């Protein structure tokens, strides 16, 4: 798997690449995949280059296991409409945006081949036989354990893991964690040091995620809806995105990010050498 520098939002790929984004995401994901093997088996075998991972090909399960610790993002937008249920899960009354839930809630989504992913409840998943009840409960257990681990790791770095999603598949008949985990593309982080103060004053939380990209698109009249046109991305904004991704890498992993360009030829040669030596 080659992690590209492309970036998407609202199920659309933005027109410009983000320098070093692929390497940043791949290295964060590799770190967390390695550190969570005691919780759940995963697909990763090796990461021979910053932007490349080699792993097992699994049979994907067409459900994203989204878990939310705070009333933020999609959950907050649903809440503002007056709805108090999300994916069949009841949300408490009297909450304001970015408040913490009494306990994290799991709000699954269908994994669409085309178009938008859609919210779905546990009951719908089971009634449609998308997965067996045994497998679904196992995914729920893995999801809660992974989120708890990610929360503790973020806390060590003075961050709050707000929400995230996990994707699972089957390898040799066993539920296996697939894809990236705990990266800014799949997760949202707040800064912990001023969370309480900002919340008490009704201020927006300072966050490390790609939510600011979505916010920029919304400000420029794009949410992926029919008839909307993707705005052009100025170079200053592209640099800002790279800097934000690098900041999260360094905050999460506690080390500087090394900006090393890897050519396509080098990537191909490295992968071929790995195959020759390992297969």
List, for residues 108-143, the tens digit of each pLDDT value. 999 766 556 789 999 999 999 999 999 999 999 999
pTM higher than 0.85 = yes
**In the chain, where the domains are located:** 23-267
Token couple for 30: 């590799």
d(CA 65, CA 164): 8
Per-residue pLDDT of the chain (279 residues; tens, 9 = 90+): 888 888 888 888 898 999 999 999 999 999 999 999 999 999 999 999 898 999 999 999 999 999 999 999 999 999 999 999 999 999 999 999 999 999 999 999 997 665 567 899 999 999 999 999 999 999 999 999 999 999 999 999 999 999 999 999 999 999 999 999 999 889 999 999 999 999 999 999 988 777 788 889 999 999 988 889 999 999 999 999 999 889 889 998 999 998 877 777 787 888 888 888 887
Query: Which residues contact residue 30 at a Cβ distance below 8 angstroms, ignoring those fewer than 6 apart?
Result: 44, 47, 53
CATH topology of domain 23-267: D-amino Acid Aminotransferase; Chain A, domain 1 (3.30.470)
d(CA 14, CA 157): 30
């Amino acid at each position: 798997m080659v992690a590209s520098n492309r970036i998407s939002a609202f199920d659309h790929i933005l027109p410009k690449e983000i320098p070093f984004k692929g390497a940043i995401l791949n290295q964060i994901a590799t770190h967390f995949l390695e550190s969570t093997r005691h919780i759940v088996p995963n697909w990763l075998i090796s990461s021979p280059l910053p932007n490349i991972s080699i792993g097992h090909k699994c049979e994907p399960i067409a459900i994203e296991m989204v878990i939310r610790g705070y009333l933020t993002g999609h959950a907050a937008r649903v809440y503002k409409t007056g709805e108090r249920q999300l994916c069949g899960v009841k949300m408490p009354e009297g909450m304001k945006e970015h408040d913490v839930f009494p306990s994290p809630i799991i709000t699954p989504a269908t994994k669409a081949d085309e178009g938008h992913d859609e919210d779905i409840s546990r009951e719908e998943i089971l009634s449609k036989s998308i997965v067996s009840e045994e497998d679904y409960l196992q995914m729920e257990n893995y999801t809660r354990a992974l989120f708890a681990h990610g929360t503790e790791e973020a806390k060590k770095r003075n961050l709050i893991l707000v929400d995230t999603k996990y994707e699972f598949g089957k390898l040799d008949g066993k539920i296996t964690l697939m894809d990236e985990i705990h990266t800014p593309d799949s997760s949202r982080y707040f800064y912990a040091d001023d969370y309480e103060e900002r919340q008490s004053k009704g201020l927006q939380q300072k966050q490390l995620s790609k939510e600011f990209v979505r916010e920029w698109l919304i400000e420029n009249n794009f949410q992926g809806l029919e008839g909307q046109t993707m705005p052009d991305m100025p170079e200053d904004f592209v640099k800002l995105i790279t800097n934000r991704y690098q900041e999260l890498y360094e905050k999460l992993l506690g080390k500087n990010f090394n900006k090393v360009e890897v050519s396509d030829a080098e990537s191909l040669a490295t992968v071929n050498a790995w195959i020759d030596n390992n297969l």
